Amino acid sequence: MTDDKDVLRDVWFGRIPTCFTLYQDEITEREAEPYYLLLPRISYLTLVTDKVKKHFQKVMRQEEVSEIWFEYEGTPLKWHYPIGLLFDLHASNTALPWSITVHFKNFPEKDLLHCHSKDVIEAHFMACIKEADALKHKSQVINEMQKKDHKQLWMGLQNDKFEQFWAINRKLMEYPPEDNGFRYIPFRIYQATTERPFIQKLFRPIASGGQLHTLGDLLKDVCPSAITPEDGERKTQVMIHGIEPMLETPIQWLSEHMSYPDNFLHISIIPRPTD
Amino acid sequence: VSRSMAGEKDFFLEEKRFKQYCEDFVKHSQQIGDGWEWRTSKDLGDGYLSKTHFQVRNRHIPSDLEEKNSDNTEPTLFAYVEEPLDDSQAAGAGSTQEVVRYEYHVLYSSSYQVPVLYFRACFLDGRPLTLDEIWGSVHASYQARLQEGPWDTITQQEHPILGQPFFVLHPCRTSEFISAVLGGSEEQHRHTNYIILWLSTVGPVVGLNLPLSYAKLAPEQSTNTD
């Protein structure tokens, strides 16, 4: 029987083979070769693509290079969403490698946040963690930590150090013995078809009678269209980290084991492939 | 760093009350022509307060540009802002009219149970202001206060309903400073319009001022929020 801790490792070390191609209208001095990279599902595009940037900047003139941004089939990719979420949401049922187009011009101001430095990524990451703890523990656990603990969470993510990260993150996954779970579950549900970027609501992991709420309960409450019809052909898939967890899975367990490093469950609702 | 100790009263705002305070707020805004409206999202029924206004950053304004309310669907208001020319402006740019369109949204954060102020600004040609440019338009005394105040910082974030980049005043310490401002018990302040109190404090920091008449929104005028 697989230990629950193995799930934590599988989530952390998930990778997506990706092919980066320079946008054809970018002005280059030589032909730009595509760049291949295994992207960590749990990280952020602008955190792990320094080599991609260097590779393409080598064939471009300095003045043609401004802030890098990424696009998949015409859709600008939000760097502040974890990579695994972007893939699941936009490309999970397409052939690998994931083909991403790289841009250095015409930054889409209306679609993407700017990311001028790693500090911006760190601030965003920490803000998500703090918000998750506000939901789980009324911010008590995160506020009791020292600055160096906060730094360790960020450094663990940045340097791909599972043990370093979880040494601190395990405290964010604890709850008082008299409770059976967190106060509320930090989650966001994404559908590429809506203008609203995601659905986020207050949701308790334990019902008033003490039963554990399931993933199915969450969806029924917050996004019922994702799981209708209940019998027969479902038109959508509910995906987390590239898999479809059973709807009977307790949401408390999912929150503890399949959250991203920002402590949120990022759930994609995507069309079921019709082959 | 001061933190709420366990047991100290933090003023949290339930979503129902948020909506009610916003409704009262919009009613008053309509009475005085202050330009706020409530926008409801079509899919989930949540919503937010919204106001757009234009700031003209120049001394010499032809009279027909002042106080102009156009016939667009969104209420547009001109706020004439007279600012001393700084060095960058004095150097030949004094006669240029810089019109900036500011858009403010007040949303509810269920995670922190407080209202949150989102805003963005752009020039008339559509070019968005950078955070530095927005800072530059904030009066110096507010800049100092923001740095020492408990609302931490302004960052760019995705608008949770529209999905577009906005600037946001961080909400995580809002309940702390609201309780500091209010003092007393939550009971005593049951009828205070939280939105007016909060917005009149954080708004000016980012160029948003509430006319004093909002203070007249007495408890008797508010609909019963219980």
- Domain total of chain B: 1
The predicted pLDDT at position A62 comes to 82
What are A158's strand-pairing partners? none
Domains in chain A with CATH codes: 12-103 (3.10.20.620), 125-271 (3.10.20.90)
Q: Confirm whether B6 is domain-assigned.
A: no
pLDDT at B74 over 50: no
| Pairwise CB contact (< 8 Å): B161 & A130 | no
Query: H-helix or E-strand containing A110?
Result: none
Residue A32 to residues A21, A25, B133, B205: CA-CA distances in angstroms? 8, 12, 36, 47
Q: Confirm whether B63 is domain-assigned.
A: no
| Pairwise CB contact (< 8 Å): B170 & A196 | no
CATH number at residue B174: 3.30.1460
Q: Confirm whether B86 is domain-assigned.
A: no
Q: Confirm whether B134 is domain-assigned.
A: yes
Q: Confirm whether B221 is domain-assigned.
A: no
Q: Which domain holds residue B131?
A: 15-56+97-209
Lowest-confidence region among A137-146, B71-80, B132-141, B182-191: B71-80
Q: Confirm whether B83 is domain-assigned.
A: no
Clarify whether B22 is annotated catalytic. Answer: no
Q: Which residues of B touch A139 (CB under 8 A)?
A: 172
- Please give the DSSP secondary-structure letter assigned to residue A205: S
The predicted pLDDT at position B141 comes to 67
Q: Give the nearest partner residue to A197 out of B110, B128, B160, using CB atoms.
A: B160
The predicted pLDDT at position B68 comes to 38
Q: State the ipTM, two decimals.
A: 0.93
Strands (E), chain B: 37-40, 47-57, 77-81, 98-109, 114-123, 154-158, 165-169
pLDDT band at A205 (very low <50, low <70, confident <90, very high): very high
More confident residue, B54 or A88: A88
pLDDT band at B88 (very low <50, low <70, confident <90, very high): very low
Give the residue on A whose Cα is nearest the Cα of B131.
Answer: A114
Q: Confirm whether B182 is domain-assigned.
A: yes
Q: Give the nearest partner residue to A109 out of B128, B162, B172, using CB atoms.
A: B128
Q: What is the mean pLDDT of chain B?
A: 73
Of B65, B77, B79, B172, the active-site residue reads: B172
Q: Confirm whether B144 is domain-assigned.
A: yes
B137-174 per-position pLDDT tens digit: 766 666 666 566 544 578 899 999 999 999 998 766 66
Structure tokens at B97: 């009219």
| Pairwise CB contact (< 8 Å): A109 & B158 | no
Query: What proportion of chain B, given as a percentage, has pLDDT over 90?
Result: 34
The alpha carbon of residue A124 is apart from the nearest alpha carbon of chain B, in Å, by 8
